[in-house]
Amino acid sequence: MHWPTSLPLLCSTILPFVTGSLALPKARSNKHYAIMDNDWYTAGFVPYLIALDGGVDVLGLASDTANSWQPQVALHAVATLEAGNLSCIPVYPGATWPLINTPERFQAWETIHGKLPWEGAFAPENKTLEAQGNDPTSGNPNRIVKEAFKEGYPKGKPDNSTSAANFMVEMVHKYPGQVSIYSAGSLTNIALAVRMDPQFASLAKDLVIMGGYVDLNMLEATGSIMLADYQSDINLMIDPEASKIALTADFPEITIAGNVANQVFPTKEFVEEVASVKNPYSELFSKYYDLSFPFWDETAAALMVDPSLATNQTSVYLDVDTSYGSPNYGNIHVYQKALAPGGIRQVNYVFEVDADKLKNRVKHALQYPKTCADLKK
Ligand SMILES: *[C@@H]1O[C@H](CO)[C@@H](O)[C@H](O)[C@H]1NC(C)=O
Ligand SMILES: *[C@@H]1O[C@H](CO)[C@@H](O)[C@H](O)[C@H]1NC(C)=O
Ligand SMILES: *[C@@H]1O[C@H](CO)[C@@H](O)[C@H](O)[C@H]1NC(C)=O
Ligand SMILES: *[C@@H]1O[C@H](CO)[C@@H](O)[C@H](O)[C@H]1NC(C)=O
């Protein structure tokens, strides 16, 4: 199972001689698959449309608890796939609970270390907000708030024949070295897969995450609450222990879309341009995509499809603070090699992407979305 790492070496030395004769098997083995794990919501379909538009074969979506509880976001995944005839892509339910975190534990931490502007699934339960169409937070994690399905309540259900973590493990064994694991919510399912199968991480192609902010504390203090919101790392903070397990595992590569995920924002003009080509996704996007937020999950998805989107990145050793007594609990800390502690690894930390290329990917994916009929071809 060492070929994913030794292949680049092989290619660089003998590529001129093998490309012709091995063209067919090579094309097959180069197929890029992905499992996309997220806290899906009404306008959360852009990442998988970007992947499909970029020729990535999306094996399945997984649900996690981050902005809201897992059972609710799994149904959003099903609903948004149904909106555009993409129900051939299965949705596998992930873990509802973080490894050890709970709303009560998180809220107690906030009493000592300060409130987050965005508390995700751990915000106090608020029936008024739910009645207005907000996804559920705190309270019973299995309740479903139908008012939040502005994309339409799904007819189908998640595929619970297996769990998200099991599905990830099975797929990396089926397609070793070819499956990207994309995560734009909590890393709970990925940590479970890492611990369940010691080969899991090394058999994947890479791990690409949205989250992992660094060096933004002064901005949290001196800017507006909204600016503080942009720098708060809820995806990692919902489940700090899982974040550490996932981000120190031996994936061939890990790419962090943290600070860079705040670089590119949608504008009213951009949304209008997208909506000039009518289809269910361009319409949902123009109705429900919130212009106050940057292309967070979209930036990570585009980097998964095309790593050359990054125009400035560095390689650093990365750890996650798992000390509950720390104000940085659930945040990352980076090191240079000579000073890094044991047990952590190098990651690609992206600083900047080509904004026009990113916007073009978002636009094309939304204007000409793939359907299951295209995926069968
Ligand atoms: C989805 O499929 C149905 C039935 O085949 C078709 O009528 C509809 O136009 C399709 N919608 C899209 C967005 O492709
Ligand atoms: C619930 O949300 C509403 C609307 O934002 C707000 O006015 C109210 O104070 C919140 N209730 C609680 C208990 O926080
Ligand atoms: C999925 O879960 C539901 C509800 O718990 C159950 O009724 C159903 O049998 C499950 N389906 C599968 C395929 O396991
Ligand atoms: C890359 O980004 C880092 C961090 O923002 C910055 O210090 C550096 O100057 C950038 N390099 C280039 C070539 O833009």
Q: 74 with 80: CB under 8 angstroms?
A: no
Report the pLDDT value the prediction gives residue 30, as an integer from 0 to 100.
85
160 lines ligand 3 (CB under 6 A): yes
Tens-digit pLDDT profile for residues 157-178 = 999 999 999 999 999 999 999 9
Q: Report, as an integer, the average pLDDT of 126-137.
A: 98
Return the sign of the alpha-carbon dihedral for residues 358, 361, 364, 365.
Answer: negative
Q: What angle do CA 45, 306, 304 make, to 5 degrees?
A: 50
Mutation test residue for ligand 4: of 352, 353, 354, the one with most atoms within 8 Å of CB: 352
DSSP letter, residue 138: S
Ligand 2 centroid from CA 266, angstroms: 28
For the chain, how many structural domains are there in total? 1
Is 2 a domain residue? no
Return d(Cα 318, Cα 334) in angstroms, integer: 4
Domain that holds residue 290: 7-375
- Whole-angstrom distance, CA of residue 106 vs CA of residue 328: 13
* 349 found inside a domain: yes
State pLDDT tens for residues 293-344: 999 999 999 999 999 999 999 999 999 999 999 999 999 999 999 999 999 9
| Residue 268 alpha carbon to ligand 2 centre in Å | 29
Q: Is residue 1 assigned to a domain?
A: no
Q: Which atom of ligand 2 is nearest to the CA of 127?
A: 1
Confidence of residue 225 (pLDDT cuts 50, 70, 90): very high
- For residue 70, is it within any domain? yes
Q: Global pTM?
A: 0.91
Which band of pLDDT confidence, cut at 50, 70 and 90, is reported for residue 14? very low
Atom of ligand 4 nearest to the CA of 351: 2
Q: Which residues surround ligand 4 with Cβ inside 6 Å?
A: 312, 351
Q: What pLDDT shows up at residue 25? A: 46
Task: Give distance in angstroms: CA of 263 to centre of ligand 4.
Answer: 13
CA of 312 to the centre of ligand 4 (A): 6
5 alpha carbon – ligand 1 mean position (Å)? 42
Counting ligands in written order, the one closest to the CA of 350 is: 4
Is the residue at 307 inside a domain?
Answer: yes
Closest atom of ligand 1 to CA, residue 279? 13
Q: Name the residue at shortest CA distance from atom 13 of ligand 4.
A: 312
Nearest ligand by distance to the CA of 158: 3
Which residue minimizes the CA distance to atom 7 of ligand 2? 128
Torsion angle of the four alpha carbons 187, 192, 197, 203, in this order, in degrees rounded to the nearest 10: -20
In a domain, 245, yes or no: yes
Cα 193 to ligand 3 centre (Å): 21
In DSSP terms, 318 is beta-bridged to 334, 345
Does 339 map to a domain? Answer: yes
Q: Whose alpha carbon is nearest atom 10 of ligand 4? A: 312
Residue 128 lies in a domain: yes
Question: How far is it, in rounded angstroms, from Cα 76 to Cα 150?
Answer: 10
Q: What is the CATH number of the domain that holds 371?
A: 3.90.245.10
Asked if residues 196 and 170 have their Cβ atoms less than 8 Å apart, the reply is no
- Pairwise CA distance, residues 338 & 261, whole Å: 28
Ligand 1, atom 1, lies closest to the CA of: 85
pLDDT tens digits for 20-55?
444 444 445 689 999 999 999 999 999 999 999 999
Measured CA distances, 349 to 40, 194, 376 (Å):
24, 21, 35
Q: What is the mean pLDDT of residues 48-70?
A: 98
